[in-house]
Structure formats: C-alpha cells, structure tokens
Amino acid sequence: TADPLITEIQPWAQAFGEGVDATPYGLPIDFESDVIRRNVPWLTADATSSINFTPIHALDGTITPQGCAFERHHSGAIELRKQDYRLMINGLVDQPLVFTYEDLERFPRENHVYFCECAANTGMEWAGAQLNGAQFTHGMIHNMEYSGIPLRTLLEEAGLGAAGDLEDKWVYVEGADASSNGRSIPMAKALDDVLVAFKANGEALRKEHGYPVRLVVPGWEGNMWVKWLRRIEVTNQAVESREETSKYTDVLEDGTARKWTWVMDAKSVVTSPSPQSPITHGKGPLVITGLAWSGHGAITRVDVSKDGGKTWETARLAKPGEKMALTRFYLDTEWDGEDMLLQSRAMDETGYVQPTKAQLRDVRGLNSIYHNNCIQTWHVKPSGEAENVEVS
Amino acid sequence: PDAMTASAEPAAKPQKDAMVVSTQSETAIPDIRTEGGHFGIGRAALPEEVAAWDLDVSPDGTGLPVGSGSVEDGEMLFSDNCAVCHGEFAEGVDNWPELAGGDGTLADEDPVKTVGSYWPYLSTAWDYVHRSMPYGNAQSLSNDDVYAIVAYILYSNYLVEDDFVLSNENFLEVEMPNAEGFIVDDRAETEYTKWRTEPCMTACKESVEITMRASVLDVTPEEEGGEATEEVTQAAATTEEPAAEPAAEPVEEAKAEEPAVQEASAPAADPALIADGEKVFRKCRACHEVGAGAKNKSGPQLNGVIGRTMGAVEDFRYSKGFEAAHDEGRIWDAASMAEFLAKPKDFMKGTKMSFAGLKKDADLEAIIAYLSSVGE
C-alpha cells in the first residue's frame, strides 16, 4: 500500500517551520532527546564528586559534541569567569609568572584532536559483566578538537634554566575548584605534547569541562587533564597527591599496587549494535560500528569477531588512525538473524593488541579498578537485542 | 618551595635536544620570541601570590608549614568537620570514603583502601585535608587544625597513641604501613611484551560459552523515555561550622556569593536564632541553595520550604517516598522538618539525602528558624 507519508501532504510540507534565532545557541531536536549523558547513581556518594557517561552508542564519527561529553568532577563544576581567571607558573623556573586569560590568547596556538578517557572507564567490568550498555561500560571517554598553547611554550616563557637537568624534573598541575585536584607530570611529557587548552570543537570549553582553561594530556588518563587549570609548578619530585596515590593506582593480586600508570592502552568497543542500540531491522545488511583508540599512538587496525573470538575479520577504518584520537571502524556485513557474540580488537602503531579480560586478569587479578582495556563482548540475539556478557 | 628570581641567564634552549620532541606542528610556527627566548607575555608572580596558591606538600615534607595538633583536639574537630561523611570513627558513612581500617586486606577480594591500610605517604593526607577538605568548605581549617585532624586519622588507624601530637617536627617519623606497597608502572615488561604479537584470526579457540550476563546483576540504570535519567544522590555536606579560629576568608567569600536572605512574615522570628541557623546551614550548602535565584543542586532549592508541600520543587527528581508524600499533600512544618533533619532516613525511607542528621536540639531549632526566614 502507498505510504501516506508520501501520498498525503504533511504539515511540515505545508506550513512554516521555526524562524531563525528561535534557539540562539542551538540544541539537538527533541526527537534526539535520548542522546544524553547518564550516570550510575550507586557508583558515587553524591553528584558533586561523581562521573557520568557519554552516549557513545548513539553517536557516529569520532568528534564528541561537548554537550554530551562525559563529566567528572571532584567538587562540582564551578563557574569561573575569564576576567577572574589567573594561571600561575612557579617552582623551579627562572621567573614565576602570572597570566590572565587574555595573555594566553597572545601565545601561538595549535589545534589537535585527542581522546580523553577516565582511567576508571570499564572499571566496573573487572569482576564480571555488570552494566548493560556501551554508554555505561565504555562511556567515560570523549574526543574533541582542542585549541591551545603547548605547555612547553609557557614553561619556556618562565624559563627552565633554574630547573637544571630536566630529566628528573616534574610539573605539578592544579585546578582552581575546591577539590584542588593536582597531578604530577614528568617533565618529558610536559615538554612533549601537553596543551593548555581553551577551546574544544571550536567553541569555548563548557563549564563541566573546565571553562575557561583546562590541561590536555594526550593519551594519558583523564584525571591528569586538570580542569580550571590555575597553577603549574616545576618541582624536583612527584607531589604524590591524593589522586596519584590513594586513587588512580592499580592494586595487583598480591596487594601491591602500580603507580604512575598514566598511559591509556589500546582499546575498542562496538557501539552498535549494542544493548542500547539493538538491531531493529531484521536480517540482511547490517552496519557494525565502533570506536578504537590508544594512548600509545595511532590505531592501525581493528578486527571484529561475531563468534566470541573464534574467528576474526578486519574492519574498515573510516579514516586512517590519528595519534591519541578516536578512530571509527565499520564492518559492513550481512546478518542472518542468528545469535552473535560481537567483539572488537584494536591494534596500534606500536603493535600492541587489545587483550582479553582473561589476559588482563592473569597479570593483574581482579582489584585494579582502573585501566581495564579488555575486549568487550555483546551477545546479539535473534530478536536483535544485545546484552553485555562474558565468554570463555 | 621556590625562591626563584628573575634570572639574567636566559632559559637555555637545550630542552629541544634533551627531551623527546613531539611531532605536533604540521606547519612551523614563526618564532617571534626575543633573543632571551621570551614573548614577554604575563607578569611576575608576587611572593605573596605564590605563597597563597603554592600549598602542596610532598612526601619529604617540602611545603609543610610550622604547626601542631593533638589526637585529642583532632577527635573534636573530626566530629565537627568530617564525621558527617566519614563517620565518627573514620569508618565512612554510606558511599563516602572510609579513612580507617582495612589493615591487611589489600590482597583480598575487596581490598579496603584507607589512609592506614593503603596511603603510602602521610604528606598526602595532610595536603588533601588542608587543600580540599572539608568537602564543600575547602581551606577553612587552620594549619594546626589540619595537624590535629590528621593526628586523629592516624589514631583511628591505631598508628599512634591517644596522647600523640603531630607537628612539622615529627611528621616524617610517622611510619605509614603501606609505604613500600607501590611499584612504578611495569606494564612495558609485564604486559606489552606479551601482547605486541600478531593476533589470531581463525580457529582461535574451540568453543565459546557465555559465562556471565549483565542482566543477572541488573544494576544498569533505567532509561526513562527521553528524560535525563540522572538520579542524583543527595550529598551529606561536611561544612560544619569552622573551628574556633576559622580561616575567615573563604567563608566570607561564600557568603558574598549567597543571595540575601529575605525576611519571612513570621512575626516572632529571633534574629540571633536565625543567624545561628544560617551557620548550621553551612552543612547543607553543598547540596541546597536558598535566596534569590536559588537553583536545585544535588538537593532541591529550599526557598519557602517551611509551609511548602513536600516534594514540590519543579524539575527536582525526588525519591519515591517524597513523591508519595507530595501526592498525599503533606506539608513541611517545623515539627516534620525537625523530625526529618534529626534522622533523615528514619523520617523518609529511601530519601536520597545522605546527610546523617543533626544531633543537637539547638541546631535543629536554629536551622528551622533560619529556613522559616527564607521566603519564596
């Protein structure tokens, strides 16, 4: 029968839509109102020191819109005006300096796309399949184009002569919010690719991402990407602050813990189909897609398995992988309507292959919480629904 | 810790050779720096400015100010400032961190990681309490108060005796049980060498069985329609009244931000009692706003709460209990509010408010006077 959506004149084809400026700064159309950050209330004691998750199951491409990029605060998202913003560089520098926001805009700046992943991403899955959705298992990640100043430029402006031999020096970075989150970064990384950023995806940082200025530490755990960055101190030792000792350290099976586990290893996940993004069209052509990334460099290859890891086929990368940035992969396939145990496996330019959960557990045990980059399995059922499972 | 002054020596430019150079810029940026290697942007940081912000304390004691505090004083300060979240004995309330106990559990199935069982350096505890606590009222404690609270945390972990006094003098003598419990990231040796291999593509295993399903645990939040499903848990604020000598600055600043409280119509309001209540309300401010333009935070805004229907603030997602109370038309009056604030979870089963409750009748009376004074 003829489709009335075609044969009958529809209201939107007859009358006016909204005029310009109806929404001076646009929001997604109402029909997309399910594409939002979500949190898991039982994870944390309250919302001011908490985390939520990017709806990666509902996005495509690689750039995360700021409005749905996951948030992590330790003392709530503060409102800090550009006029009130100050950045101090002190410690082992020739001249301690203070910059205003305007000052920062006068330094030569660069643009780079990088992923930011919380070290706890997938952390709830250590002991078993727990949360049912890519958003919840893998959504502590976002990927944006940052505009900012190399940290090296600012350190050189203050002068590193006073620091002497730079090999064993550190940079302590600290935020302006009440949590005073601070992390120690080895000088080599600080002088390599760290950015002091003030724009993301072309627009000002959002409040929840550290407006007006945050640190970008490519490939390294999100906690080091200090928001509301207010101070950079050159030191001769790691400060060993709360977030680098009591948190963001990885307990191994024998009770000892790894510290300074900064790099986020290669990882990937199928974002669709997945529990929140079931197959609704029945058998036939199916796009399997997902994201891959590595803190060691560029993604070079992603394999996909439909049978829980017995056999693998190499997926198509939407674009060649870029260093420390999300890579989108596609497997354009035919679905016969049967059960699938979908997995993806990332490889990066260092030859690192994403491990299975069993491989990780063999080395680390079950208590590490952080840095779980295991291969994820979705059980896709004949109905098209999918579930987070673990397989032998 | 930094006594650097302007140096005649330009920051030599050896770093580029000495350190790994990134491949960041695709196009070279023209270098407009002066001969000294500087843009000349920014200004010198004044010593008092550096002193105000450079508060971090390192494991070797760098940055630790002169001062001292006893376990005895710490117990009281802890009760006033910390116990609402961390428990009277540092055992932790609800999901808030436990600070004591856990000795010998690090290799167990669920390790209990506390200051005593896990933290390698005492400097971390001092630095964190000093810079970031109490939660919602950071940097309101004096240095001596911080020494006392840290002394009490040590005591609650059985690491010092009850007559112990912690000071900058004896700080490095305290032995942290897990000081040797950490190794520097060794993934390069223990993992990367194993996993940088050509992966299997066919016949990688004989059979595959599902060994666990997420639906068994059933802990995934429900997605309700297109609405945000954010279920905020109400915080227990730790913003107890600052101890005797409060570092007045932060509190005053916070007050300046706070919209003026409107006088209510209640005729016999006692200004002194209301003022007391405003102080008690500091415990609540991390989660609740009052005054002009008050917004919902992790708790609903409280303008005109006395006399208001329970569960009535728009756009706030209440617990089921308060939703039911709202449907029944129950009203917040002085009596019900006093009962609620004394023991929130007894008054309303399932309330999201994780605040443990006000213990003193005087505090209850004062805060109700204060809340009654806050108009719509």
Is the confidence metric ipTM above 0.90 for this complex? yes
Among A21, A18, A16, A59, CA closest to A37: A59
Name which of A65-69, A205-209, B236-240, B296-300 the model is least confident about: B236-240
Q: Give the pLDDT of residue B286.
A: 66
Separation of CA B50 from chain center: 24
Q: Give the pLDDT of residue B321.
A: 86
Tell me: pLDDT of B138 over 90.
yes
Tell me: pLDDT of B212 over 50.
yes
Mean per-residue pLDDT, B49-54: 98
- Residue A58: pLDDT band by 50, 70, 90 thresholds? very high
- Residue B344: pLDDT band by 50, 70, 90 thresholds? confident
- Residue B249: pLDDT band by 50, 70, 90 thresholds? very low
Name which of A91-95, A206-210, B34-38, B145-149 the model is least confident about: B34-38
Q: Contact B11/A160, CB-based, under 8 Å? A: yes
Q: Give the pLDDT of residue B50.
A: 98
Tell me: pLDDT of A162 over 90.
yes
Q: Give the pLDDT of residue B260.
A: 36
Q: Are residues B264 and B163 in the same domain?
A: no
How would you class A147 by CB atoms within 10 Å of its CB: exposed for 0-12, middle for 13-18, buried for 19 or more?
buried
Report the distance separating Cα B165 and Cα A58, nearest Å: 57
Residues of chain A with Cβ-Cβ distance to B123 below 8 Å are 240
Q: Give the pLDDT of residue B266.
A: 40
Residues of chain A with Cβ-Cβ distance to B4 below 8 Å are 90-96, 162
For residue B183, tell me if it sits in a domain.
no
Mean per-residue pLDDT, A77-89: 98
Nearest residue on chain A to B56, alpha-carbon basis: A239
- Residue B252: pLDDT band by 50, 70, 90 thresholds? very low
Mean per-residue pLDDT, A13-26: 95
Mean per-residue pLDDT, A236-249: 97
- The domain boundary, picked from B146, B173, B200, lies at B173
Torsion sign (Cα): A33, A37, A41, A45? negative
CATH number, position B337:
1.10.760.10
Tell me: pLDDT of A233 over 80.
yes
Structural domains of chain A, ranges and CATH numbers in brackets: 82-258 (3.90.420.10), 267-389 (2.60.40.650)
> Are the C-beta atoms of B302 and B315 separated by less than 8 Å?
no
- The domain boundary, picked from B147, B173, B199, lies at B173
Closest Cβ–Cβ partner in A39, A90, A237 for B2: A90
> What number of CA atoms fall less than 13 Å from residue B341's CA on the CB side?
26
Tell me: pLDDT of B257 over 60.
no
- Residue B315: pLDDT band by 50, 70, 90 thresholds? confident
Average pLDDT, chain A: 97
Separation of CA B244 from chain center: 22
Nearest residue on chain A to B212, alpha-carbon basis: A390
Mean per-residue pLDDT, A13-39: 95
For residue B268, tell me if it sits in a domain.
yes
Q: Are residues B167 and B269 in the same domain?
A: no
Q: Give the pLDDT of residue B268.
A: 57
- Residue B228: pLDDT band by 50, 70, 90 thresholds? very low
Q: Are residues B367 and B263 in the same domain?
A: yes
What would the pLDDT profile of B72-106 be if each residue is shown by its tens digit?
Answer: 999 999 999 999 999 999 989 888 999 999 999 99
For residue B111, tell me if it sits in a domain.
yes
Closest Cβ–Cβ partner in A40, A235, A341 for B221: A40
Mean per-residue pLDDT, B224-238: 35
Q: Contact A259/B183, CB-based, under 8 Å? A: yes
Tell me: pLDDT of B255 over 60.
no
Pairing relation of β-strands B43-44 and A284-293?
Answer: unpaired
Percentage of chain A exceeding pLDDT 90: 97
Q: Give the pLDDT of residue B27.
A: 64
Mean per-residue pLDDT, B197-206: 96
Q: Are residues B359 and B264 in the same domain?
A: yes
The side-by-side arrangement of strands in the sheet containing A284-293 is A267-272, A284-293, A327-335, A316-317
Tell me: pLDDT of A204 over 60.
yes
Q: Contact A262/B197, CB-based, under 8 Å? A: no
Q: Say which residue, A375 or B16, is predicted with more confidence.
A: A375
For residue B167, tell me if it sits in a domain.
yes
For residue B165, tell me if it sits in a domain.
yes
Count residue pairs from A and B with Cβ separation < 8 A: 353
For residue B355, tell me if it sits in a domain.
yes
For residue B146, tell me if it sits in a domain.
yes
Mean per-residue pLDDT, B363-374: 88
B23 min Cα distance to partner chain A (Å): 8
Pairing relation of β-strands A229-235 and A86-91?
Answer: parallel
- The domain boundary, picked from B124, B145, B173, lies at B173
Q: Say which residue, B291 or B51, is predicted with more confidence.
A: B51
Closest Cβ–Cβ partner in A48, A92, A103 for B41: A103
Closest Cβ–Cβ partner in A98, A174, A245 for B124: A245
Q: Say which residue, B211 or B249, is predicted with more confidence.
A: B211
Name which of A199-213, A353-367, B254-268, B358-372 the model is least confident about: B254-268
Name which of A88-102, A194-208, B236-250 the model is least confident about: B236-250
Domain region containing B336: 259-373
Pairing relation of β-strands A195-200 and A141-150?
Answer: antiparallel
How would you class B231 by CB atoms within 10 Å of its CB: exposed for 0-12, middle for 13-18, buried for 19 or more?
middle
For residue B95, tell me if it sits in a domain.
yes
Q: Contact A312/B207, CB-based, under 8 Å? A: no
Cα→Cα distances B142→A154, A241, B58, B99, B145, Å: 33, 20, 19, 21, 5
Q: Give the pLDDT of residue B235.
A: 30
Q: Give the pLDDT of residue A170.
A: 98
Total number of domains constituting chain B = 2
Q: Give the pLDDT of residue B253.
A: 33
